[in-house]
Amino acid sequence: MPIIEANPVSIGSTAIGGRRTTIVTSIFSADSASMLSKFRDGTYNPRLVYEIRYDLFSGGGLEDLRKLASGLKDLSVDYIFTYRFSSEREGRKMYETAISLDVPALDIEVRGMTGIDLAPYRGTVVISTHDFNGGRVSHMLNGMMRLGGNIYKFASSYSDPHGFLLDLSDLYTFKRESRIPLSLVPMGDGNSALRLFSGYMISDIVYASAEAGTAPGQLSRKDYEEFFGKF
């Protein structure tokens, strides 16, 4: 799984694509010191892949980001740096700093890419779109493709499973023709089972929770491993 293979890309030393669904654990902490301590004491396994939700750090700033990136590099952690922002200026500074630190991968919301210069970046770019009103998201695909990127992530708090199935069908067709890695993320407490189905059908990346979730309806790594282990 997934059913359709994508051409492989990498997040650090981890290959994404092929017939393997990669479980990415979304994590955050108070600051760089507290997060790095969890890797060093074995709470987090540095051999797995993570999403660092830096926007959820209570003490996160540019200098702390530099400490975090340096520490994760020393530990050889493969991760996606994510920073959801409302201030374009603030977001641009965070992403420019992350780019200068050569983090393994970036997740940038499609509507927040204005003014972020990706030209000097050598890592993997995840372009994402979110609909918190439960609408369809596959119509965003053409605009996302014009921006480049290596992986496309689509997330919606689907209010109707029919909308999810239509998006799944559209993205299935796109992936079959393009072989670009995708992630379709049904958000919301009532859509957890759809996350499993998406991972089985087309998603090259699924997002898991750690001690605390970063989105409603997130499943744990164990939930995914037990489900995927049956197939």
- Looking at the structure of the chain, the number of domains it has is 1
In angstroms, the Cα distances linking 7 to 16, 125, 162 are 8, 15, 29
Does residue 40 surpass a pLDDT of 80? yes
Please write down the long-range contacts of 42-45, taking CB distance under 8 Å and 24 or more positions apart: 44/210
Within a domain: residue 51?
Answer: yes
- Copy the structure tokens of residue 41: 């004491």
Domain membership of residue 220 (yes or no) is yes
Backbone CA torsion sign across 48, 15, 187, 191? negative
| CATH of residue 208 | 3.20.20.70
Domain that holds residue 43: 6-228
In the predicted model, what is the mean pLDDT of the chain?
91
pLDDT band at 74 (very low <50, low <70, confident <90, very high): very high
| CA 9/CA 18 separation, integer angstroms | 9
Indicate the burial class of 194 (C-beta count within 10 angstroms; 0-12, 13-18, 19 or more). buried
For the stretch 169-196, pLDDT in tens is 999 999 999 999 999 999 887 888 899 9
> What is the per-residue pLDDT across 140-149, written as a single tens digit (0 to 9) for each?
888 888 888 9
Pairing of strands 14-18, 182-186: unpaired
- Does residue 99 belong to any structural domain of this protein? yes
Question: Does residue 86 register a pLDDT over 90?
Answer: no
Q: Is residue 143 part of a domain?
A: yes
Is residue 166 in a domain?
yes
* Tokens 């409603």 found at: 216
Q: What is the mean pLDDT of residues 121-133?
A: 91
Q: What is the sign, positive or negative, of the torsion defined by CA atoms of 69, 72, 74, 77?
A: negative
- The rounded percent of the chain whose pLDDT value lies above 70 is 98
Q: Which pLDDT belongs to residue 216?
A: 67
Residue 1 located in a structural domain: no
More confident residue, 13 or 59: 13
Listed residue (8, 6, 2, 72) closest to 35, CA to CA: 72
Question: Looking at residue 68, what is its pLDDT?
Answer: 97
- pLDDT of res. 131: 87
Mean pLDDT of 90-108: 95
Q: What is the structure's pLDDT at 138?
A: 84
